[in-house]
Amino acid sequence: MQWILLGPPGSGKGTQAKKLAAAHNVAHLSTGDVLRNEIAKDSDLGKDAKAYMERGDLVPDELILKMIHEHLPSESDGNGFLLDGFPRTEKQAQALDEMLKNDGRAIDRAVLVDVSDDEIKKRLEGRAKAEGRTDDTSDVIEQRLNVYRQQTVPVANHYERQGLLTKVNGEQSIDDVYNDLEKLLTA
Ligand code: AMP
């Protein structure tokens, strides 16, 4: 299993990635979690990334790619990997393809967890209250959705061109989305 989970912020891809990774013993890499951890540690990367994240912008590709070189699961880590929140730009997708190719590896599926804008706004405003994430306020939500449309939708197109993209309906219950993902594993 060498999967990428794609989807707008609040699509639930992080929740699904955790469930899938635990059930199948695959490495789960969430670049958002790594960055939040770096901010908590007040590391150089955390200091550089913080302002971008608070505005709802993407952290520059150079910083992300450097981080990925350190964190990309290796072949010996479990039964594969799930990438959650990476790649988020066409440039990151090309760099990932190249990095895997150099190791004789490749992505075998990119799953887009599809959720409408209206539903995303409702969910993120709810999450802001529940978790106090500073990037879930309404201006920042709007910016994160713009960034998603402009920079991350091309990533879905990148994998569609390679015949690797599958969409699942992310507006179902957590369990129903999960069942759809499980079905893809046996498809
Ligand atoms: P997430 O938890 O995946 O929604 O990520 C939270 C924030 O971290 C994003 O809004 C970006 O600012 C930053 N981030 C996470 N992953 C990436 C990435 N692959 N490229 C650039 N920025 C990222």
The CATH number assigned to the domain holding 182 equals 3.40.50.300
What average pLDDT does this structure show over 123-136?
73
Q: Is residue 136 predicted with pLDDT exceeding 80?
A: no
How does pLDDT run across 28-68, given as a tens digit for each residue?
999 999 999 999 999 999 999 999 999 999 999 999 999 99
Q: Could you give the number of structural domains in the chain?
A: 1
Q: Is residue 78 predicted with pLDDT exceeding 80?
A: no
Q: Which two tokens stand for residue 17?
A: 């990635």
CA of 168 from ligand 1 middle (Å) equals 21
Catalytic status, residue 105 = no
Report which ligand 1 atom has the smallest distance to the Cα of 55: 12
pLDDT > 90 in the chain, percent: 76
CB-based burial, 117-153: b 16+ in 10 Å, e otherwise: eeebeebbeebbeeeebebbeeebbeebbebbeebbe
Q: What is the pLDDT of residue 133?
A: 67
Q: What is the pLDDT of residue 170?
A: 97
How does pLDDT run across 155-183, given as a tens digit for each residue?
999 999 999 999 999 999 999 999 999 99
CA of 78 from ligand 1 middle (Å) equals 25
User: Which is the catalytic residue, given 13, 18, 50, 91?
Assistant: 13
Mean pLDDT value across the chain = 92
What average pLDDT does this structure show over 123-149?
80
Q: What is the pLDDT of residue 175?
A: 97
If one compares 137 and 20, the residue with the highest pLDDT of the two is: 20
C-alpha 95/C-alpha 72 separation (Å) is 12
Q: What is the pLDDT of residue 45?
A: 95
Catalytic status, residue 144 = yes
If one compares 109 and 74, the residue with the highest pLDDT of the two is: 109
CA of 187 from ligand 1 middle (Å) equals 30
Q: What is the pLDDT of residue 186?
A: 83
Q: Using an 8 Å Cβ cutoff, are 84 and 26 in contact?
A: no
Residues of the domain holding 88 = 2-186
